[in-house]
């Protein structure tokens, strides 16, 4: 199985890593094109483009200026270590062993507006560019058009290289839209997490994000290879619900 997840807006490039191993993102040339486009934007432009505050716009204006293509452990951090949102709280990377962190390279990919597709140990520099951003480039009016088939083709080559038979979609809709699912050459399974409230089950975004991280950790730690083994996921009181599920969507409730 190969997992895909979304990145996080929150970053910590000073976080400590359990491993000194690192890799370089595959699409840095494309990232550089996007950075050049972003550098054309004033803080006011960035605020309007991304719907962020003036302070965040100033921060990301400076990040864009500081970004450089020569990635080293001194100016960048492994992606899985750097991201700090709800999904990554669920993964709890700080408590992963060195072996687990290094093993994640064979199980996990992180979708990214700026970097396209990241391995866990790929170095990243600070940025903010959500996949849904309508940043115009020569490739089109948004990032989905910019990335085109590249992410899908890279996932296919990775699935083949690692001999993975199933793609596990633990990403948000915004990010998974960058994957052309009709072009994926393996089965895709999407786990869904629901909470009981007044007798009904519903997806609560912030809890679902953490649950996606918990399942990612569950797969990595247990070295799962069979999708049916996902049904044993019982972390933080979640249980698999057969009646709500189908062959493409596994529903977990609590």
The pLDDT value given to residue 140 = 96
DSSP characters over 103-169: HGGGTEEEEETTTEEE-TTBEE------TT----BTTBSSHHHHHTTHHHHHHHHHHHHTT--EEEE
The pLDDT value given to residue 199 = 86
Global pTM?
0.97
Q: How far apart are alpha carbons 14 and 20 in whole angstroms? A: 14
Q: pLDDT over 90 for what percent of the chain? A: 98
DSSP 59: H
Q: Which domain holds residue 80?
A: 2-253
User: Do 120 and 240 form a contact (C-beta atoms < 8 A)?
Assistant: no
The pLDDT value given to residue 13 = 95
Does pLDDT of 43 surpass 90?
Answer: yes
Q: How far apart are alpha carbons 130 and 165 in whole angstroms? A: 29
What mean pLDDT comes out for the span 14-24? 95
Q: Compute the mean pLDDT over every residue in the chain, rounded to the nearest whole number.
A: 97
Per residue in 139-153, pLDDT (tens digit) is 999 999 999 999 999
Does pLDDT of 93 surpass 90?
Answer: yes
Selection from 108, 95, 89, 109 nearest residue 18 by Cα? 95
Q: How far apart are alpha carbons 196 and 254 in whole angstroms? A: 6
Count of domains in the chain? 1
Per residue in 171-190, pLDDT (tens digit) is 999 999 999 999 999 999 99
Per residue in 213-230, pLDDT (tens digit) is 999 999 999 999 999 999
């Amino acid at each position: 199985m190969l997992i895909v997840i979304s990145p996080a807006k929150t970053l910590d490039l000073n976080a400590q890593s359990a491993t000194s191993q690192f890799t370089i993102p595959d699409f840095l040339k494309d990232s550089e094109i996007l950075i050049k486009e972003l550098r054309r934007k004033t803080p006011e432009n960035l605020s309007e483009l991304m719907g962020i505050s003036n302070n965040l716009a100033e921060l990301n204006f400076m990040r864009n200026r500081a970004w450089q293509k020569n990635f080293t452990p001194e100016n960048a951090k492994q992606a899985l270590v750097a991201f700090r949102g709800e999904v990554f709280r669920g993964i709890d990377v700080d408590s992963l062993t060195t072996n687990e962190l290094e093993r994640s390279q064979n199980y996990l990919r992180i979708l990214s507006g700026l970097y396209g597709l990241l391995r866990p140990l790929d170095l990243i520099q600070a940025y903010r560019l959500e996949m849904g951003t309508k940043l115009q480039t020569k490739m089109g009016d948004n990032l989905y058009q910019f990335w085109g088939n590249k992410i899908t083709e890279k996932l296919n080559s990775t699935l083949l290289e690692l001999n993975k038979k199933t793609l596990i979609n633990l990403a948000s809709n915004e990010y998974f839209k960058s994957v052309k699912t009709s072009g994926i050459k393996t089965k895709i399974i999407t786990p869904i997490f629901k909470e009981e409230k007044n007798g009904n089950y519903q997806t609560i975004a912030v809890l679902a994000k953490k649950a996606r991280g918990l399942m990612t950790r569950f797969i990595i730690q247990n070295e799962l290879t069979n999708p049916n083994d996902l049904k044993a996921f019982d972390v933080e009181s979640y249980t698999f619900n057969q009646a709500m599920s189908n062959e493409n969507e596994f529903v977990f409730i609590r």
